[in-house]
Amino acid sequence: MTPPPSAFGLAAPHALATHAGERAWLAGGNAVDAALAAAVALTVVYPHQCALGGDLIALVARPDGRVLAVNGSGAAPLAADPDALGLASMPVTGPLTVTVPGVLAGWATLSELAGRLPFRLLFEQAIRYAREGVPTAPGVAAALRLEAEHLRADPGIGEIFFPGGQPLAEGRPLVQPALADTLSAVAEQGPDAFYAGALGAGLAARLRAMGSPLSAEDLARHATEVAEPLSAVFRGEEYLTAPPNSQGLHLLQILGLIDRLPDSPGAGLLARVFEAASRDRDRHLADPRHADVPVGTLLGGAHLDALAEQVLAGGGCGAGRAGAGARPSGDTVAVVAADGAGNAVSLIQSLFHSFGSGILDPVTGVILHNRGAFFDLAPGAPNRLAGGKRPAHTLMPVLTRRDGVLSGAHGTMGGKAQPQIHAQLALRLHAGDDPAAALRHPRWVVGGLEVDAPAGTVAAESTVPDGTVASLRAAGFPVTIGTELDEEVGHGQLVRRAGDGFRAASDPRCDGSAVTRD
Residues noted as catalytic: 332
Burial pattern 461-485, b for ≥16 Cβ within 10 A else e, equals beebeeebbebbeebbbebeebeeb
Cβ neighbours of residue 199 closer than 8 Å, sequence gap 6 or more? 182, 185, 186, 193, 364
Written as one letter, the residue type at 468 is: T
Burial of 510 (0-12, 13-18, 19+ CB in 10 A): buried
Q: Which of 118, 116, 172 lies closest to 144 in space, CA to CA?
A: 172
DSSP 469: H
* Pairwise CA distance, residues 25 & 3, whole Å: 9
Count of beta carbons in the 10 Å neighbourhood of residue 342: 18
**Residue 491 contacts residue 438 (beta carbons within 8 Å):** no
Phi-psi region at 265: left, alpha or beta (left = phi > 0; alpha = psi -120 to 50): beta
* Pairwise CA distance, residues 260 & 258, whole Å: 5
Burial pattern 270-291, b for ≥16 Cβ within 10 A else e, equals bbbbbbbbbbbbbebbbbbebb
Beta bridge partners of 59: 69, 346
Q: Residue 11 to residues 152, 236, 394: CA-CA distances in angstroms?
A: 32, 25, 20
Identify the helix (H) or strand (E) that includes residue 401: strand 398-402
**Residue 221 contacts residue 105 (beta carbons within 8 Å):** no
* Pairwise CA distance, residues 448 & 274, whole Å: 12
* Pairwise CA distance, residues 100 & 368, whole Å: 9
